[in-house]
Structure 1
Amino acid sequence: MINLKSIIKTLNSEEQQKFISYLHQKNKRKNTKNIQLFKLLSHPENDSITICKQLYKTEKSNAYHALRKRLFQSLIDFTANKNLEDENSIDMKIIKYILASRTYLLQKNFDIAYKILDKAEHLADEYSLFPILNEIYHTKIQYASDYPKVDLKTLIYKQQENQKKHQLEDRLNVVYAELKTVLNAISYEGKIIDFETELNHILKASHIELNQSLSFKSLYQILAIANISASVTTKYFQIEDFVLKSYDILKRKKETDKQLYYQIQIVYIIANTLFRNKKFEASLNYISEMEQLMQSNRSVHKKEFTLKKTLVKALNLNYTKQQEEAIALVENSIEKKHNDLESMLDLHLSLLMFYFQNDEYHKAKLIVSKFYHTDKYYIEKAGIDWVIKKNVAELLLYIELQEDNLFYSRLKSFKRRYTNYLKDTNQLRIMTFLNFAEQYYKKPESIVTEKFKTKIRNSFEWSSAYEEDIFVLSSFAWLKNKIEQGNLYQTTLLLIKTT
């Protein structure tokens, strides 16, 4: 049975009112129960038996199931019509041109038909709509023998070049899907996979090099592949130049309002990459560009990108001495309902970090109390790396709050669950860090001794300051601050600044 509630949940209050108006216009009989069913399904507490009894005075009814099917079809029609009115208006305009031209071609009115097809070709090429372009070239070639003004060789060449672009976009789509599957296995299932080997193998098998750019969609898929690699290895510095140069080239070639969804995705990747590389001002500039793009085309994509944009903006603010603004921004965002659970979890974890850096431990503990699901649940929803960050943050918080039982029980559980994973993924320095945190908790006075400081220096293998991940540096700042006995937030900023 189709889960109608999950579909209805995707509609905001304004869209729900529009859908009810749509049903009113569609209904030919006054006793139609589809609006009543829709309103009942809008309340999560109502189950099928309750709804059926309210509509038909019985727990089971064939009429109820028939009504559900009709409502489902109405929801599909409404959603499709809404999308056609929004982002796909160009597609529909071109399709109408093609249909009209074919009518004129059948009537042997070739001058008019080919002028219309020329308009369609120009639009489809401008928006990189390769499948629709293929239909246009197919139609032009089909009737070329009846219209001598057409250069058939040029048409055939254009069609062949378009097919190459379309095939490349298809291959990129396959590669992207395969790499996302590999990433999911690593991040959401905790499997140990050599990602770089998998990346090279998939790209080689698909005959793709990471230096091609066609449409914003193609570039997004290429950059997403690079971003996946960076997220697994935390080596964002390796993709920065490629990401920036690729976007700059395409932005100069293409109109900036074409393939808007993919362009916003690209700008988000750039902003996040620059943040992870500690280039905060540059990252904020791209966040501003992202905000402008989100306002385009009647803000059609604003809702789905709001949390992602908020997260990167807040992180940048936090590391540029604007922590109060960062906290206010995140607090305001998490008060609102949103379907993007993974981004919501990221925002909560970031707020936990902000509170912790600002010595607001009780507020931080309130955030922790909201993570009441099991680690397995959060691995499925946000990935294993998110869960490890959450656990490390909790352990440091219990040290500051001096909650012995919680600290030792969670530390024991963490070591049992994740030591092998951290070892297999070459992240054992997290365990080294926690061992030092435990030593400090047992004997706080020992951390200021030269012996302890030397032991710390000899125990970590660090990348160069520029290459080191910002979140790793932020964790180390806690230990550094304990040695220096200063202010954690200021120590963190100073450590980041010196890189």
Structure 2
Amino acid sequence: MIALRHIIKAFSPQDKADFISFVTKKNKRGDTKNVSLFKLLHETDLKSKQITDKLYGNHKVNAYHALRKRLFSSLIDFKANKSLQGENSVDIQIIKYLLAARTFLLQKEFKTAYYILDKAEELAQSHLLYPILNEIYHTKIQYAYGNPSIDIVELIEKQKSNSKKHQQEDALNLVYAQVQISLNKSRKEGEIIDVQSLIQNSLHTNQLSLNESLSFKSLYQLLSLFNISAFVTNDYLSVESFALKTYDIIESKPEINKQLFYQINCLYIVANVLFRNFKFEKSLDFINKMEGLMMKNKKEFEKEFILKSTLIKALNYHFSGQADKAIAEINSVHGINQHDKEAYLDLELCRFMIYMQIENYDMARTISSKLFHTDDWYISKAGVDWVMKKNLTELFLYHELDEDDIFSSRLKSFKRKFKADLSRTENTNLRHFLKLLEKLNKVNFGYKEEIKHNLNELMTVSSNKNSDIFEISFYSYFVAKIEQKPIYETTQNFLKSQPQH
């Protein structure tokens, strides 16, 4: 069944008001119940049977399902109309030009037709719409016999050049999809794949590389592939140069106000890469650039990206020693509609982690208590890695609150449920953290020297690789407990000791 409730729950107050107005104007009868159904799905968690009884007073199941279909149809119309108000309206306008021009060509009104095709070409070029440009050039070449002023050689060269760009975009789109599918399969089935080799081989096979001719969408997809590789290998340092080169290409393009969605995504990735490499001020500079693009076109993409930009900003503040500023940043968007559930959950986990680091365990407990859904629910919204980090942070909290029974029960459950995930190579350190925490909780520092020795071994191994900023937080916790120092201060000292690149 279509997830109608989930779609409707994501509506902002403004979207809700706009949709009700849209549907009310469409309704031809006064007794139509689609607005009532929409409000019940948006404002309550009633089951289908309860909604049916509320709307009809008895079990009219068929009537309810027919009403759901009509409401979904209205949702499609509403979403389509809303999308036409954004950048997609450019595509529609060009298609209108193309259809009108073809009509005039059939009527042998060649001069008028080519005037319209020229307008369509100019608009499509300025928005890097290679597939539509192919259609425009195809039409111009097809009817060139009717327009003596056409330079057919120049037109064919334009068509060939655009076809190469289109093919390159198609090939990159294919690689992007294949890597994402392989990664999802790997996570679901526990199959280990060499993502870095997969990406490099796919790009080499399709002769793809970073260059100025790529559209903003293609730049985003290419940058995303390298970001995926960095995430899996925990090697953000090797990606940094590529990320900055990508931004240089974006900044040099004359179509800087086009395809803002992809530009904003690119800036977000660059800011994240810099953050993961401990370059906090530089990362914040890119977040400011990102937010500048979010404000364009009457804040068209503010709602889409505000939670993501806030997350990176808060993390930069926190790890640069400004925890209060980080908390204030997160709190500033706390009442915003949860348009992006994954980003919202990332923010909550970030807030949880910050309060643990500054040892405000009452606030940490409050946040934890609000994360009451099942692990499976959170996995579907934010992924396995998010759930494991949440559970590990909660174990730290139970240890601090001396809730030994809950700690033992949750630890056992965690190890049983995520046995396969914990066995993955990239989670080696997480396994060690669990063992250290179990020792720390059992003996009240009775194994202090052993824990310290294990921790030093773990840090020695990790120092030969790239240090992960989140793992440094876990290291710092154990060191702070052993040396009886403040956790946040210990974290800051660790970060200052990391080599700068």
* TM-score normalised by length of structure 1: 0.90
The equivalent of 1:88 in structure 2 is 88
Aligned to 2:179: 179
Alpha-carbon offset, residue 238 of structure 1 = 1.3
The residue number in structure 2 matching 1:132 is 132
Q: List alignment gaps of at least 5 residues for structure 2.
A: none
Letter in 1 for 2:261: Y
| Distance verdict in 2 for CA 1:36–1:359, change over 3 Å | closer
**Once structures 1 and 2 are overlaid, which stretch shifts more, 280-289 or 201-210?**
201-210
Q: Is the 8 A contact 2:237 2:277 kept in 1?
A: yes
| Whole-angstrom distance in 2 between the partners of 1:455 and 1:280 | 30
Rate the CA distance shift 1:444–1:223 in 2: closer, same or farther, 3 A.
same
- Contact 1:447–1:483, Cα closer than 8 Å, also in 2: no
Choose 241-250 or 39-48, whichever is displaced more. 39-48
Which residue of structure 1 aligns with residue 267 of structure 2?
267
State how far apart, in whole Å, the 2-side matches of 1:64 and 1:192 are: 46
* Cross-structure match for 2:494: 495
- Deviation >6 Å, runs of 4+: none
1:436-455 correspondence runs (5 A): 436-444=436-444, 453-454=452-453
Q: Match for residue 121 of structure 1?
A: 121
State the distance in 2 between where 1:188 and 1:447 align: 37
Q: Is 1:354 the counterpart of 2:319 in the alignment?
A: no
Q: 1:134-159: CA deviations, max 9, x gaps? A: 12111111110111211112212211
Q: Distance in 1 between matches of 2:238 and 2:281?
A: 19
Give distance in 1, aligned partners of 2:334 and 2:291.
19
Alignment partners' CA distance in 1, 2:146 and 2:364:
75
What is the CA RMSD across the aligned residues, in angstroms?
2.9
Which deviates further from its counterpart, 371-380 or 299-308? Answer: 371-380
Q: Which moved more, 1:268-277 or 1:361-370?
A: 361-370
Q: Do the aligned partners of 2:12 and 2:339 also contact (CA within 8 Å) in 1? A: no
Once the two structures are TM-superposed, the CA of residue 495 in structure 1 deviates from its matched residue by: 1.1
Q: Look up the match of 1:485.
A: 484
> Structure 1 residue 444: deviation in Å?
4.8
Alpha-carbon distance between aligned partners in 2 of 1:369 and 1:148, rounded to the nearest angstrom = 75
Q: Aligned partners of 1:425, 1:466: CA distance in 2, in Å?
A: 13
More deviation in 312-321 or 423-432? 423-432
1:468 counterpart = 2:457: no
Structure 1: any 5+ residue segments left out of the alignment? none
Query: Given residue 155 of structure 1, which amino acid in structure 2 is its aligned partner?
Result: L
Question: Paired residue for 2:198?
Answer: 198
Residue 50 of structure 1, CA deviation: 5.2
Residue 492 of structure 1 aligns with an amino acid whose one-letter code is T
Compute the displacement of 1:39 (Å): 4.1
For the residue of structure 1 that corresponds to 2:208, the secondary structure is coil
Q: Is the 1:267–1:289 contact (alpha carbons within 8 Å) kept by the matching residues of 2?
A: yes
Give CA deviations for 1:413-462 in whole Å, capped at 9, x if unaligned. 4444546544441532333333333444445556775x764554334444
Aligned residues between the structures: 498
In structure 2, the residue matched to 1:302 is 302
Secondary structure of the residue aligned to 1:467 is: coil
Equivalent AA in structure 2 for residue 475 of structure 1? F
One-letter code aligned to 1:325: K
> What is the alpha-carbon distance in structure 1 between the residues aligned to residue 249 and residue 313 of structure 2?
25
Amino acid at match of 1:122: E
- Deviations along 1:442-498, whole A, 9 cap, x unmatched? 45556775x764554334444458931111111111122234322211111121122
Q: Which secondary structure does the structure 2 equivalent of 1:177 belong to? A: helix
Q: How does 1:23-34 map to 2 (within 5 A)?
A: 23-30=23-30, 32-34=32-34
Q: Secondary structure at the match of 1:427?
A: helix
Change (3 A) 1:332 1:447: farther
Report which stretch shifted further, 416-425 or 261-270.
416-425
CA gap 1:389/1:276 in 2 versus in 1, 3 angstroms: same
Mapped to 1, the partners of 2:24 and 2:375 lie a distance apart of 46
Structure 2 letter corresponding to 1:385:
D
Q: Is the 8 A contact 1:267 1:290 kept in 2?
A: yes
The structure-2 alpha-carbon separation of the partners of 1:43 and 1:400, relative to structure 1 and needing over 3 Å to count, comes to closer
Decide which moves more: 204-213 or 406-415: 204-213
**Equivalence for 2:223:** 223
**TM-score in terms of structure 2 length:** 0.89
1:1-80 equivalent positions in 2, closer than 5 A: 2-30=2-30, 32-49=32-49, 58-60=58-60, 66-80=66-80
2:97 and 2:116 in contact (8 A); partners too:
yes
Q: Distance in 2 between matches of 1:430 and 1:49?
A: 45
